[in-house]
Amino acid sequence: MASILDKINNKELITDEVIATDLLVSAKAAVRSYAVAITETASDDIHETLKKQLNDAIDLHHKIAQYMIDNELYHAYDIGEQVEHDLKKAEVALEMPTDSK
């Protein structure tokens, strides 16, 4: 069985930026999920466990975001730069070949 990477036509498109962005989005989703879960539990023990996991997810999100900022992969403090960066990435995505299979 072929791995997922074998199915990607243009393997050089899997960059540190793509991986870091995916991790950042996932960490942000985890923060949201833990926050919602905390509001849904009545157990003090579970509540405390979820709060710890929420804080860990927030810390992870911060580390990933800081890595991306330090490596100029994410321009959190300059919206103009971030928009320009995103538009360049969108152009690359639009130029990618598609496989109808």
pLDDT at 7: 54
Evaluate whether 22 touches 45 at the Cβ level (below 8 Å): no
How far is the CA of 48 from the CAs of 4, 22, 30, 33, in angstroms? 37, 28, 16, 15
pLDDT at 1: 47
Residues of the chain with pLDDT under 70: 1-13, 97-101
Residues for the chain: how many in total? 101
Evaluate whether 62 touches 28 at the Cβ level (below 8 Å): no
Tens of pLDDT along 30-55? Answer: 999 999 999 999 999 999 999 999 99
